[in-house]
Chain A
Amino acid sequence: MAVRAARSAGFTAVLLLFLVLAGSAWTGDAPAAHNGTPSTQEDPDPHHGTNATNHRKAFPVLAFNYDHVRKPFEISLWILLALLMKLGFHIIPRVSHVVPESCLLIFVGLLVGGVIKAMDEKAPVLDSKLFFLYLLPPIILDAGYFLPIRAFTENMGTILVFAVVGTLWNAFFVGGMMFAVCQIEAAQVGHVDLLSCLLFGSIISAVDPVAVLAVFEEIHINELLHILVFGESLLNDAVTVVLYHLFEEFSHAGTVTVGDAFLGVVSFFVVSLGGILVGVIYGVLGAFTSRFTSHSRVIEPLFVFLYSYMAYLSAEVFHLSGIMSLIACGVVMRPYVEANISHKSYTTIKYFLKMWSSVSETLIFIFLGLSTVEGPHNWNWIFVIFTLVLCLLSRVLGVVGLTFIINKFRIVKLTKKDQFIVAYGGLRGAIAFSLGFLLTDSEKKHMFLTAIITVIFFTVFVQGMTIRPLVDLLAVKRKKESKASINEEIHTQFLDHLLTGIGDICGHYGHHHWKDKLNRFNKTYVKKWLIAGERSNEPQLISFYNKMEMKQAMMLVESGSAAKLPSVMAAASAQNIQQQREEARQQKLLKISKTREAEIRKVLRANLQKTRQRLRSYSRHDLFMDPFEEDMSEVRFRKQKVEMERRMSHYLTVPAKRQETPSVRKVWFEPEHKVYTYDDSQSPRSGAIQLNPRPSDGAALLDGSPQGSEPSAAPQSADQSERQKPSRCLSDPGPNEDEEESIFFSSR
């Protein structure tokens, strides 16, 4: 039933598109007539003045003016079509399990292209400007912003070697061998000279981040392999840019001198380091700006996006590596921005980035399919077959050879299985196509494009589809579903310091030493400038802990209090009616709180052990899985949203005013939606804990917060009895107030 619905939805979408395109072609002629009509209408009027009896058309109640909205309409329709397709795939589970999404999208593009071609229309092609300026940046920013820094820096050496040396090897090997192939008489491509072949080699040799992301995110491979292939695909952009421009210049000039080659090498360093520098500058600017956004939270996400995009564009202006600039900007900006912005802004940034990158990726693959059908093609059997074979061969040779050298320097060696996956995961994609498209029009260009498209199709379809069964077959390690464990975080930090210390004792200035120095520099100078207020002093362990606790809180609120909601509402509204029975009600509520406290303790304890799974895989289009979101129905969600917003709005839109003062304000969550704030400044044991219950807005407000000793006595005793339980399990003698409070969440 659903399948049929999805299929019919898909067909209607295609049909709709077909109609619109046909209509747009038809109305292309219409505007002339349309514009003519009013003008002819105008003319008689001034001549004939008030002569109303002339042939005057009735006022058009309904008019058709497609031309006015043509461009935005078509763009929106395309995007809508792409997203409907995406939806459709997931409704048909069988297909989406076997075939990766990218293949299906290309296939759809082919279909649509075929339909359009059959209508003798001109289909939109993957214009290079569109691709490089609009479609690529969101994907790269999404990848760069959420790059796992630890894994990336630990494997930086390996990644760099693969990216730089590997790509160079690929480019020269393929280019050189293709030149040799072109000399074969039978190919009839003798007119292709060495430089063109090298240019072709440089275009086709780069591993494509879009394709890698699209395929790898579905197979959930372990972190190391993922970061190796993905990091390589990002960093080889610099090499690709340099080689492409180099060979393009040379192929116009005709000859190459040694000086030129030297300049090429210099240019590589300029391009890569310059790109990174531009990114870092914009990143610092963005971080600095975010320090002052506490009064206008709504525009915070925009700063992140705009600064990053500007970094990309600025790098492109100077022909520096835009991708590296974008990555550098995201990486630099992220820790400081996240410390400054509100939680809502953080969520917004996360969602928008994922959304844009998802749309971009979908569009890219559909357009790739379209462009294939559009052509123009120049199919040359020998050229294409040899290109394919040589690409695969050079990739395998490159990876094996480089791993042999790299393994001498690695602690965790790369096994044969790892090497195979790295080699097999070297997918080509839309970047290669767009670069090829940018070449000047000629016979050669069409031949190159055909070959490029063939390689792309082969890698995406064949390699993309078979990599999942191969991963299963070879029993490659999958991603660990690691819990966000406070113990692991403690020990990670502990080990860091331990290894740095050991290194210092021996006078060995290794990896840890420099990392430690960077951290200290960061803490003493940089954080003071870029992080607002007192968050600048917060060590990483504490912020990790706070993040974890907040996730706990939200989970608790969303799940634990759902069932209890109606009774609370009833109780609260009853209070409003009867003023004199208010105290009794208070008692009742507080009594409820006693039993509820025990429950909360249990739930909290249970929740601490099954903290929200932090998926360390890179499922880019599904965010961190939230089972509770799926369970909630609309009504419950709205009620809780109101409540949560009240509660959270205070401490979420205000970044942590850190407690340097002794009065530590802590917020204790309770399902009755009362917010009790403890003031530590008041002497804890001497009986008068100032409880300021702030009742919820969702129901009627309690008039007059009771601040007498009576209500405070009851919760105090409740607290005391309740404290027995956790303190026992913490092997501490007796109730100890400090401990108790510290388990609750610190207000931010």
Chain B
Amino acid sequence: MKLETCLTGFVSSHVRSNTHVAPRVTPWLFFYPHPFRKEDFNGIPDLASNPIRTQIVEAFFDQRNFSKDGDGKVDEIGFEEFLVVMSHFRPPSLPMTDEQRDSVRKEKLRFLFNMHDSDNDGMITLEEYRHVVEELLSRSGALGKETAKGIADAAMLEVASISVGHMEPDEFYEGITFDHFLKLLATFEIESKMSVRFLNMDTITLCK
């Protein structure tokens, strides 16, 4: 059965206190009485053709995205957690001070970092990065594997040179830490790019 949820007349106050602006959701979503599982997400047809769907679905069940100190994965989530994950995608409100902008960017980049860092060791190793690139190219058939490796390697070299600078030939580059990740995507303007527009709408409609 297709996973469609919509918001009923209320948004839980608990969620509201977690996020600055309670995300309001479009009329297409209706409230599921029971908690979501991973299989429910697989029922969405459009998601099937998305190359990184596994990682997206995983992100919903990753406790690191629910709270600051969370760790590990869960098997089912409630609506609250769903909204918390979605709240990472809220667009920035315009009059933003620099600290606010920084914190928003950190939050969104943290989300991305968690998506890449699947074993939760605080670092994106080469294997994990390769996996990311492979997934991205997974739709392109046979030629993906080799070139994916090459691309991932080149990308790691780039990160190394940006964060660590000049390296001796026998130095080791362990992996991308969160700080390096921040530095890497410093010019990316993630606060406006990583946002879904519907979270801006003010209407809360009733379930159809």
The chain A residues found within 8 Å of chain B, CB to CB, are 411-413, 480, 482, 485-488, 490-491, 493-495, 497-508, 510-511, 513, 516, 520, 537-539, 541-542, 545, 549, 598, 605-606, 608-609, 658-660, 664, 724-725, 728-732, 738-739, 742-743, 746
Are B185 and A491 in contact, with the CB atoms below 8 A? yes
User: With A505-B47, A511-B197, A545-B154 known to touch, is A730 a contact of B126 (CB < 8 Å)?
Assistant: yes
Are B28 and A494 in contact, with the CB atoms below 8 A? no
The docked-state distance in angstroms from the alpha carbon of A350 to that of B85 is 46
Instruction: Give 6 pairs: A residue, B residue, CB < 8 Å, sorted on A.
Output: A500-B46, A502-B86, A505-B56, A506-B198, A538-B140, A742-B147
A500 contacts which chain B residues (CB < 8 A)?
46, 50
Q: At the interface with chain A, which of B10-18, B70-78, B167-175?
A: B167-175
The docked-state distance in angstroms from the alpha carbon of A504 to that of B57 is 12
The docked-state distance in angstroms from the alpha carbon of A413 to that of B200 is 13
A724 contacts which chain B residues (CB < 8 A)?
169
Among B50, B56, B154, B192, contact of A743 (Cβ-Cβ < 8 Å): B154
Interface assignment of B3: CB less than 8 Å from any CB of chain A = yes
Among B112, B153, B194, contact of A730 (Cβ-Cβ < 8 Å): B153
The docked-state distance in angstroms from the alpha carbon of A742 to that of B156 is 13
User: With A491-B185, A520-B49 known to touch, is A412 a contact of B142 (CB < 8 Å)?
Assistant: no
Which residues in chain B, 151-182, are within 8 Å of chain A measured between CB atoms?
151, 153-162, 167, 169-175
The docked-state distance in angstroms from the alpha carbon of A739 to that of B126 is 12
The docked-state distance in angstroms from the alpha carbon of A52 to that of B28 is 105
User: Closest Cβ of chain A: how far from B171's Cβ, in Å?
Assistant: 6
Q: How large is the interface on B (under 10, 10 to 19, 20 to 34, 35 or more residues)?
A: 35 or more
User: Closest Cβ of chain B: how far from A78's Cβ, in Å?
Assistant: 45
The docked-state distance in angstroms from the alpha carbon of A511 to that of B188 is 19
Are B44 and A411 in contact, with the CB atoms below 8 A? no
B44 contacts which chain A residues (CB < 8 A)?
504-505
Are B174 and A486 in contact, with the CB atoms below 8 A? no
Q: A497-B51, A730-B157 are in contact. List 18 more A-B contacts (CB 8 A).
A: A487-B155, A487-B158, A487-B185, A497-B52, A502-B56, A505-B44, A506-B86, A541-B136, A541-B137, A542-B143, A605-B161, A609-B162, A728-B171, A729-B172, A730-B153, A731-B173, A738-B149, A742-B149
Are B151 and A541 in contact, with the CB atoms below 8 A? yes
B174 contacts which chain A residues (CB < 8 A)?
731
The docked-state distance in angstroms from the alpha carbon of A336 to that of B143 is 20
The docked-state distance in angstroms from the alpha carbon of A487 to that of B167 is 19
Are A545 and B147 in contact, with the CB atoms below 8 A? yes
The docked-state distance in angstroms from the alpha carbon of A69 to that of B98 is 67
User: Closest Cβ of chain B: how far from A233's Cβ, in Å?
Assistant: 25
A520 contacts which chain B residues (CB < 8 A)?
49
Which residues in chain B, 1-43, are within 8 Å of chain A measured between CB atoms?
3-5, 25-26, 28-29, 41
Are B137 and A539 in contact, with the CB atoms below 8 A? yes
Are B196 and A502 in contact, with the CB atoms below 8 A? yes
Are B50 and A495 in contact, with the CB atoms below 8 A? no
B92 contacts which chain A residues (CB < 8 A)?
411
Are A732 and B187 in contact, with the CB atoms below 8 A? no
The docked-state distance in angstroms from the alpha carbon of A295 to that of B41 is 50
User: Closest Cβ of chain A: how far from B117's Cβ, in Å?
Assistant: 14
Closest to A503 in B: B196
Are A731 and B94 in contact, with the CB atoms below 8 A? no
B126 contacts which chain A residues (CB < 8 A)?
730-732
Chain B 72-116: CB-based contact to A (< 8 A → 1; otherwise 0): 000000000000001001011010000000000000000010010
Are B185 and A742 in contact, with the CB atoms below 8 A? no
The docked-state distance in angstroms from the alpha carbon of A658 to that of B200 is 44
The docked-state distance in angstroms from the alpha carbon of A412 to that of B196 is 12
A539 contacts which chain B residues (CB < 8 A)?
137, 139-140
Closest to A660 in B: B142
User: Closest Cβ of chain A: how far from B2's Cβ, in Å?
Assistant: 9
Closest to A520 in B: B49
Interface assignment of B195: CB less than 8 Å from any CB of chain A = yes
User: With A491-B188, A725-B169 known to touch, is A505 a contact of B41 (CB < 8 Å)?
Assistant: yes
The docked-state distance in angstroms from the alpha carbon of A501 to that of B85 is 13
The docked-state distance in angstroms from the alpha carbon of A609 to that of B155 is 10
The docked-state distance in angstroms from the alpha carbon of A598 to that of B170 is 13
The docked-state distance in angstroms from the alpha carbon of A485 to that of B155 is 8
Are B153 and A510 in contact, with the CB atoms below 8 A? no
User: With A542-B147, A542-B151, A732-B126 known to touch, is A504 a contact of B47 (CB < 8 Å)?
Assistant: yes
User: Closest Cβ of chain B: how far from A143's Cβ, in Å?
Assistant: 25
The docked-state distance in angstroms from the alpha carbon of A500 to that of B158 is 27
A508 contacts which chain B residues (CB < 8 A)?
26, 28, 196-198
Are B169 and A504 in contact, with the CB atoms below 8 A? no
Chain B 130-146: CB-based contact to A (< 8 A → 1; otherwise 0): 00110011011111001
Are B136 and A493 in contact, with the CB atoms below 8 A? yes
User: Closest Cβ of chain A: how far from B87's Cβ, in Å?
Assistant: 11
A498 contacts which chain B residues (CB < 8 A)?
52, 56, 115, 194
The docked-state distance in angstroms from the alpha carbon of A511 to that of B91 is 14
User: Closest Cβ of chain B: how far from A486's Cβ, in Å?
Assistant: 5
Interface assignment of B122: CB less than 8 Å from any CB of chain A = no
Among A486, A497, A658, contact of B155 (Cβ-Cβ < 8 Å): A486
B4 contacts which chain A residues (CB < 8 A)?
507
Interface assignment of B193: CB less than 8 Å from any CB of chain A = yes
User: With A660-B143, A730-B157 known to touch, is A501 a contact of B132 (CB < 8 Å)?
Assistant: no
Are B56 and A729 in contact, with the CB atoms below 8 A? no
Are A542 and B26 in contact, with the CB atoms below 8 A? no
The docked-state distance in angstroms from the alpha carbon of A493 to that of B208 is 35
Interface assignment of B63: CB less than 8 Å from any CB of chain A = no
Are A608 and B194 in contact, with the CB atoms below 8 A? no
User: Closest Cβ of chain A: how far from B30's Cβ, in Å?
Assistant: 10
A732 contacts which chain B residues (CB < 8 A)?
126
Interface assignment of B184: CB less than 8 Å from any CB of chain A = yes
User: With A411-B192, A488-B188, A743-B154 known to touch, is A497 a contact of B136 (CB < 8 Å)?
Assistant: yes
A507 contacts which chain B residues (CB < 8 A)?
4, 26, 28-29
User: With A412-B192, A506-B29 known to touch, is A480 a contact of B187 (CB < 8 Å)?
Assistant: yes
Are B125 and A739 in contact, with the CB atoms below 8 A? no
The docked-state distance in angstroms from the alpha carbon of A572 to that of B47 is 59
Are A504 and B50 in contact, with the CB atoms below 8 A? yes
Closest to B174 in A: A731
The docked-state distance in angstroms from the alpha carbon of A516 to that of B86 is 20
User: Closest Cβ of chain A: how far from B170's Cβ, in Å?
Assistant: 6
A743 contacts which chain B residues (CB < 8 A)?
150, 153-154
Are A501 and B50 in contact, with the CB atoms below 8 A? yes
User: Closest Cβ of chain A: how far from B208's Cβ, in Å?
Assistant: 12
Are A505 and B3 in contact, with the CB atoms below 8 A? yes
The docked-state distance in angstroms from the alpha carbon of A513 to that of B47 is 10
The docked-state distance in angstroms from the alpha carbon of A724 to that of B169 is 9
Are B50 and A497 in contact, with the CB atoms below 8 A? yes
A729 contacts which chain B residues (CB < 8 A)?
157, 160, 167, 169, 171-173
